[in-house]
């Protein structure tokens, strides 16, 4: 009985540690571009007045899989595409020693890019629009080590003139000038630029105004990419 209790205790401790790592991860990813300017876009957005809410932009879920996001707070970053952005990663089920499962962003120890459920996951276009810019970077990062800016990213302009950027992509499947639909596959997740782990960064702006992002929860019901 003591051995069983010990095993259960160890399993519970392991689960707690992994859950703790999950929340620490969210904080780490949220600060992946802590130096700012991670996309190489130089113009700052205007600060939002304290008595005014930033405009909202409803976006298509970036993944078909279950995912979580960490948001950049007002004033954390000032560059276009960085300001008010959100960092998203896929979460998967990992078995526990006691026969249960927990949700985690990675399996094993997370020291390899391939350990992360997000790595090479299909990225779905957050909006319909025209691809305005594609920037490619070939050097991948090792988890835990931040690379140099800029990241590989795709910039889309929607019909209202709002610019939306999706960064830290490994394999881009669209080109400048392409018309894309919301939910269309535009690439696969990598780990490059100012990033500590495989994930994507999404940011939006128009002129000098940064937009807050809101994920379309109805689209999550059947959000599947089209290869």
Domain presence at residue 222: no
Tell me if 226 is assigned to some domain: no
Query: In which band, very low, low, confident or very high, does the pLDDT at 43 lie, cut at 50, 70 and 90?
Result: confident
Residue 25 banded pLDDT, cuts 50, 70, 90: low
| Domain that includes residue 135, residue range | 2-217
- In a domain? residue 200: yes
Residue 32: its pLDDT value, please? 52
Beta bridge partners of 32: none
In this prediction, residue 222 carries a pLDDT of 63
CATH number, domain of 86, equals: 2.70.70.10
Q: Is residue 159 domain-resident?
A: yes
**Residue 149: partners with Cβ closer than 8 Å, 6 or more residues away:** 33, 35, 37, 38, 39, 40, 193, 194
Unique residue bearing structure tokens 């959000």: 223
**Residue 175, SS3 per DSSP:** coil
Are 110 and 92 a contacting pair, CB within 8 Å? no
Q: Where are the beta strands (DSSP E) in 136-208?
A: 153-157, 163-167, 169-172, 179-180, 185-189, 200-206
Average pLDDT of the chain is 84
Instruction: Tell whether 150 is covered by a domain.
Output: yes
Selection from 104, 111, 128 nearest residue 180 by Cα: 128
Give first-to-last CA distance, the chain, whole Å: 53
**For residue range 99-123, what is the model confidence (pLDDT) as tens digits?**
999 999 999 999 999 999 999 999 9
Overall number of domains in the chain:
1
pTM score of the predicted model:
0.81
Domain-located, residue 30: yes
Mean pLDDT in residue range 160-181:
97
Residue 44, in any domain of the structure:
yes
d(CA 67, CA 89): 6
Q: Is the N-terminal amide bond of 150 cis, ω within 30° of 0?
A: yes
Residues 67-89: tens digit of each pLDDT: 999 998 887 888 888 988 999 99
Tokens 């991860």 found at: 25
Residue 36 burial (10 A CB sphere; 0-12, 13-18, 19+): middle
């Amino acid at each position: 009985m003591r051995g069983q209790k010990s095993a259960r205790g160890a399993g519970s401790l392991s689960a707690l540690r992994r859950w703790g790592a999950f929340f620490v991860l969210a904080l780490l990813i949220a600060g992946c571009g802590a130096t700012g300017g991670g996309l190489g876009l130089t113009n700052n957005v205007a600060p939002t007045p304290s008595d005014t809410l930033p405009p909202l932009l409803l976006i298509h879920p970036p993944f078909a899989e279950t995912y979580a996001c960490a948001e950049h707070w007002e004033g954390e970053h000032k560059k276009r595409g960085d300001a008010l952005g959100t960092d998203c990663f896929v979460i998967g089920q990992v078995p526990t020693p006691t026969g249960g499962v927990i949700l985690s962003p990675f399996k094993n120890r997370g020291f390899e890019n391939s350990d992360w459920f997000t790595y090479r996951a299909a990225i779905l276009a957050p909006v319909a629009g025209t691809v305005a810019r594609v920037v490619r970077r070939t050097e991948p990062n090792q988890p835990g080590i931040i690379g140099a800016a800029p990241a590989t990213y795709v910039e889309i302009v929607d019909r209202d003139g709002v610019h939306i950027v999706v960064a830290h992509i490994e394999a881009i499947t669209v080109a400048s000038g392409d018309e894309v639909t919301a939910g269309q596959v535009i690439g696969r997740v990598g780990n490059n630029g100012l990033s500590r782990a495989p994930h994507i960064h999404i940011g939006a702006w128009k002129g000098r105004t940064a937009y807050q992002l809101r994920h379309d929860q109805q689209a999550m019901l059947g959000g599947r990419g089209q290869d």
